[in-house]
Structure 1
């Protein structure tokens, strides 16, 4: 029997079991030999994902909204619009929330989480013994698509924020600064669910992604990577190169599907929150919301 996926909920202080959207399909695709054949032939391909995204943009997909809200107990009190006002499922999927729903942790040197989700931290990229499961390493050069950037972030820290389909799917800047680079890195569209990542964390750097670097005063250069996934062929960036962004300001959003963002810091620039470090050392993700504390700048 397949094991359940547990995470630590920062808001309740307890370990909880994740309700995985499409779990039976994911387990067949990534744990069954025939499923893995379908994965490589069809599921990871852009054409399949474009077709599925097209379906979620059709007016007929509107009928999926209310059942989804009910099944996954989505708190519509946080949303700027009512559940019956969305024209398509994607319109609902990348819904906007009220400012009060996600207060931003502020203060001298505080970094906030960029997205709702389940977060995994690597405090020191030069000493990665495991990620998600024992024996998996993190290939920084491939992930960033640049040897130069990889050298700059060598020995730094990364926080991987995994969004489930039930989560709020807009992502925000964890810091204030200027966007000095933004580029798309082409790739496949594997799932970023724990079912997939526990088999191969390399899906993170094999998937299509958008790299943005942010120059800051307190944290040096910060790399922010938005990662596509199965049924997420579209990563919509709402701020581009040259823009000045404030902490908590929206950077972009994902259309339908599970997805992921990663925030990378230079060496000795950030002290990560203790619950992130402690739980990640046990390959356990921490559930927290956009705007919650990620860490604090290290005094220099």
Structure 2
């Protein structure tokens, strides 16, 4: 059971997890863990399933998925019947007014839809993956010089579950360097998996880039793939002027995670998000929603 905080309603909700029984069996049973290590975490498994999600055979999954998870189709840019395959639906675009963006220059916005956790005054060698499990930023991006910039800074973890809008955006105006790829495994990023796999974020396929933000300094932007995420697609143009809220890229099928690092004294995260994070709860946010401000 995954409980998260709804900041608009000021209540806690239980997340309806896509593939809940599969996840629990895979990460909790000896046979499931054996198959996970021998097959499921491998690139070929996610690549094969990703291929299926790109075919017309997968189109029949769309309506059931929408109905099972009560997804609001009124926000879709296209009619659900127009999608040719499940992946077309999965990385769907939304109508322009579906995600209002706070354009105030000193407002920090969420780069995507998902469940957000925030940590301040971070220890680069002991970043929190989940309670009791930590990882190192040095291992995460494999670049010591860049990692050092974020000592005592702020870390935001935005978890996208399969039901979420899966395009991610820039949190401010500025310029972004070329994205660097790190090959890895394809574990799930669901909290069920995070509790079972040490250093999961450092095991999975991921990409990172430095975003030179106009109002928040140099932001380290990391996308983490997961089971059945065949690709992390970058759609931005490196080293060209970027507008706040502009699309950076999208994930193909599967749950995914975005991790952001801010330098020390660059940002102040909203109090309710910090409080819920300290209590061990993620906060549900949408792309464009204000989650903090600069200092």
TM-score, normalised to structure 2's length?
0.96
Quick check: 1:164–1:259 contact (8 Å CA) kept in 2?
A: yes
Quick check: 2:53–2:86 contact (8 Å CA) kept in 1?
A: yes
Equivalent of residue 91 in structure 2, options 74, 82, 94: 94
**1:136 paired to 2:136:** no
Matches of 1:204 and 1:118, distance apart in 2:
16
Matches of 2:77 and 2:176, distance apart in 1:
28
**1:120 paired to 2:112:** no
| Pairing of 1:249-288 with structure 2 (within 5 A) | 249-288=246-285
**1:164 paired to 2:161:** yes
Identify which range, 274-283 or 134-143, moves more after superposition.
134-143
- Which residue of structure 2 aligns with residue 64 of structure 1? 61
Quick check: 2:209–2:220 contact (8 Å CA) kept in 1?
A: yes
**1:15 paired to 2:12:** yes
1:137 partner SS: strand
Equivalent of residue 145 in structure 2, options 145, 148, 155: 148
1:213 partner SS: strand
2:176 partner SS: strand
Quick check: 1:29–1:39 contact (8 Å CA) kept in 2?
A: yes
Q: Unpaired runs of 5+ in structure 2?
A: none
1:153 partner SS: coil
RMSD: 1.5
Quick check: 2:124–2:151 contact (8 Å CA) kept in 1?
A: no
Cα offset, 1:11, TM superposition? 2.3
Quick check: 1:210–1:225 contact (8 Å CA) kept in 2?
A: yes
Identify which range, 269-278 or 178-187, moves more after superposition.
178-187
Cα offset, 1:127, TM superposition? 8.4
Cα offset, 1:132, TM superposition? 5.8
- Which residue of structure 2 aligns with residue 186 of structure 1? 183
| Pairing of 1:240-251 with structure 2 (within 5 A) | 240-251=237-248
- Which residue of structure 2 aligns with residue 30 of structure 1? 27
- Which residue of structure 2 aligns with residue 207 of structure 1? 204
2:67 partner SS: helix
| Change beyond 3 A, Cα 1:85–1:43 | same
Cα offset, 1:155, TM superposition? 1.2
Cα offset, 1:39, TM superposition? 0.6
Equivalent of residue 43 in structure 1, options 35, 40, 44: 40
**1:111 paired to 2:108:** yes
Matches of 1:92 and 1:11, distance apart in 2:
27
Matches of 1:41 and 1:296, distance apart in 2:
45
Cα offset, 1:199, TM superposition? 2.7
Count of aligned residue pairs for this structure pair: 295
Identify which range, 46-55 or 138-147, moves more after superposition.
138-147
Matches of 1:114 and 1:269, distance apart in 2:
17
Matches of 1:127 and 1:147, distance apart in 2:
10
Cα offset, 1:290, TM superposition? 0.7
**1:195 paired to 2:169:** no
| Change beyond 3 A, Cα 1:201–1:170 | farther
Matches of 1:91 and 1:134, distance apart in 2:
35
| Change beyond 3 A, Cα 1:130–1:179 | closer
Matches of 2:150 and 2:238, distance apart in 1:
20
Matches of 1:219 and 1:130, distance apart in 2:
21
